């Protein structure tokens, strides 16, 4: 079957769904091809905080009611150093800006609903999605539907929103992109549990290792625990997890609950430059991945989608190719800024606690860096500005 549309979007995570909704608002025709089923996409739990800037994207495009309704902003965070709580008022220090608790699956469910209710074309369980002719002026994307019928969609542009392991970046010829990678050399175990959420995002710094607890709805928490790289899940039975969390968070009474997910997060970073090849634009995790420290991954996906939607609108509706030509450069500035922040924060949060990997000298440096956040208004404001 042969069809044609202005933009084909590959992938329906935060990047693809944000882009699809924004293009609909811009009156640009698009179809979204997603490999997984709708329940799978809607239940995948990952990120939890939508930054102020990402919330602004939905507000500016008139999507605040459908996407942000009922979500609340938590302007505070807690850093528990050797079991002693210290509170940091992000909203007060960032002139009222602060992130909102919006678990990724809530964002995804709302974006799917808003797109479909507006008449959007979102095709789940699309197999063998393959972009072709990206370096020419008329690319196509082929896929096979659940009945085995092969579709070919001709388009003006392809948006590769299919995550780090997707087909979009893999379709770019070798040598056309410069890639940058970095491994933090630490391990993180993440645990999702039906345990009461903390009052504020909570970071625990302790000689036994870093830990954290974030809300994922009122009755669920995501926990993180620093562990040895290459550690095995067999070494992390539920009892050890709770014992280590109680120790590192300095809370003998930490409420527990059934653990619903346990996995290791790769503390790896990756950036592809440029985020474009011919008629293909890479968006979100397809172009860059960042560790969860600082909560930037989902927010970068939303930011990229906003820049691309504006560029496509200018190119397709106003005949102005300028913003689209600047897409990669515009996005990469934010990407590198976030990578730097995440790495800075990661170093401070880990090295101030467990001295084993980096040594006692660096432990003292990291503690001085942390202390500065509570003693210097300028340092506190700079940190809040990057967290908000
Ligand atoms: P996604 O979410 O990976 O979505 C990609 C979509 O593309 C589909 N797909 C394909 N579709 C068609 N054909 C193919 N060949 C396809 N291949 C893949 C996939 O099924 C999927 O639906 O990428 P996107 O949209 O760029 O969004 C990025 C975010 O999901 C990611 O950056 C965050 O989840 C990262 N992240 C966090 N980000 C934050 O901002 N704050 C956090 O606190 C945070 N915590 C996390 C995280 C990521 C985690 N994991 C598991 C990687 C915590 C975890 C544990």
Query: Looking at residues 100-119, what average pLDDT do you find?
Result: 95
Give the number of the atom of ligand 1 that is nearest the alpha carbon of residue 41: 22
* Mean pLDDT of the region 221-243: 96
Distance 314 CA to ligand 1 centre (A): 27
| pLDDT at residue 123, as a whole number | 98
pLDDT band at 46 (very low <50, low <70, confident <90, very high): confident
What pLDDT sits at residue 48?
86
Nearest CA to ligand 1 atom 50: 46
Q: Which residues line ligand 1 (CB under 6 A)?
A: 10-16, 33-36, 41, 46-49, 104, 126, 129, 161-163, 166-167, 190, 265, 284-285, 292, 295-299, 301
Distance 362 CA to ligand 1 centre (A): 33
Percent of the chain with pLDDT over 90: 95
Proportion of the chain above pLDDT 70, given as a percent: 100
Averaged pLDDT for residues 227-249: 96
Rounded Cα gap, residues 52 and 54, in angstroms: 6
Determine the pLDDT at residue 47: 85
Residue 18, sorted as left (phi over 0), alpha (psi -120 to 50) or beta, turns out to be alpha
Closest Cα to residue 303, out of 278, 275, 263? 275
pLDDT computed for residue 217 by the predictor = 79
Backbone angles phi, psi at 98, to 5 degrees: -165, 155
Calpha distance 236→184 (Å, rounded)? 21
CA distance 223 to 193: 8
- 388 pLDDT band, cuts 50/70/90, is very high
Cβ neighbourhood burial of 78 (10 Å; 0-12, 13-18, 19+):
middle
Mean pLDDT of 48-75: 93
pLDDT at 1 over 90: no
Q: What is the helix (H) or strand (E) element at residue 55, kind and residue range?
A: helix 52-60
Task: Check whether 266 has a pLDDT greater than 90.
Answer: no
Residue 21, pLDDT score: 98
Q: Is the pLDDT of residue 128 over 90?
A: yes
Return the ligand 1 atom nearest residue 104 CA: 34
- Give, using CA atoms, the residue closest to atom 13 of ligand 1: 35
Is the pLDDT at 27 greater than 80? The verdict is yes
Higher pLDDT, 48 or 237: 237
The model's pTM is: 0.96
pLDDT for residue 73: 79
Q: For all residues of the chain together, what is the average pLDDT?
A: 96
pLDDT of residue 101: 87
CA-nearest residue, atom 4 of ligand 1:
13
Spatial CA neighbour of 287 closest among 299, 311, 302, 304:
304
Provide mean pLDDT across the span 301-320: 98
Chain segment 6-20, per-residue pLDDT in tens: 999 999 999 999 999
Pocket test for ligand 1, best of 47, 105, 153, 213 (most atoms within 8 A of CB): 47
Name the pLDDT band for 218 (thresholds 50, 70, 90): confident
Give residue 216's pLDDT band: very low, low, confident or very high (50, 70, 90). confident
Q: In whole angstroms, how far apart are CA 44 and each of 66, 187, 231?
A: 20, 22, 24
> Do the Cβ atoms of 115 and 17 come closer than 8 Å?
yes
Task: Answer yes or no: is pLDDT of 379 > 80.
Answer: yes
Tens digits of per-residue pLDDT, 184-212? 999 999 999 999 999 999 999 999 999 99
């Amino acid at each position: 079957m042969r069809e044609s549309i202005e933009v084909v979007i590959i992938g329906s995570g935060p990047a693809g769904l944000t882009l699809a909704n924004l293009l609909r608002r811009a009156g640009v025709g698009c179809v979204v091809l997603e490999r997984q089923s709708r329940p799978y996409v809607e239940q995948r739990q990952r990120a939890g905080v939508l930054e102020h800037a990402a919330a602004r994207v939905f507000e500016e495009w008139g999507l605040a009611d459908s996407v942000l309704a009922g979500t609340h902003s938590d302007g505070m965070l807690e850093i528990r150093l050797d079991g002693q709580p210290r509170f940091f008022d992000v909203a007060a220090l960032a002139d009222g800006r602060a992130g909102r608790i919006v678990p990724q699956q809530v964002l995804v469910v709302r974006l799917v609903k808003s797109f479909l209710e507006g008449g959007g074309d979102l095709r789940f369980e699309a197999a063998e999605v393959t972009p072709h002719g990206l370096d020419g002026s008329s690319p196509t994307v082929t896929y096979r539907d659940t009945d085995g019928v092969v579709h070919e969609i001709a388009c003006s542009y392809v948006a590769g929103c299919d995550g780090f392991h997707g087909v979009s970046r893999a379709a770019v010829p070798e040598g056309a992109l410069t890639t940058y990678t970095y491994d933090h050399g630490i391990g993180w175990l993440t645990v999702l549990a039906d345990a009461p959420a903390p009052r504020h995002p909570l970071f625990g710094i302790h000689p036994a290792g870093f830990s954290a607890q974030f809300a994922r709805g009122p009755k669920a928490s995501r926990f993180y625990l620093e562990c040895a790289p290459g550690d095995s899940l067999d070494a992390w039975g539920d009892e050890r997890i709770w014992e280590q969390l109680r120790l590192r968070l300095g809370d003998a009474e930490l409420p527990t609950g059934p653990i619903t997910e346990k996995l290791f997060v790769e503390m790896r970073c990756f950036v592809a430059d440029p985020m474009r090849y011919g008629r293909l634009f890479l968006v979100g995790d397809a172009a860059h991945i960042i560790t969860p420290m600082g909560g930037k991954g989902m927010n970068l996906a939303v930011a990229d989608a906003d820049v691309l939607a504006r560029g496509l609108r200018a190119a397709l509706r106003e005949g102005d190719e300028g913003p689209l030509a600047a897409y990669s450069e515009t996005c990469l500035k934010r990407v590198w800024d976030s990578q730097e922040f995440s790495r800075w924060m990661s170093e401070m949060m880990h090295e101030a606690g467990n001295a084993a990997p980096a040594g006692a000298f660096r432990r003292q440096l990291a503690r001085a860096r942390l202390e500065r956040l509570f003693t210097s208004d300028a340092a506190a404001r700079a940190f809040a500005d990057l967290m908000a």
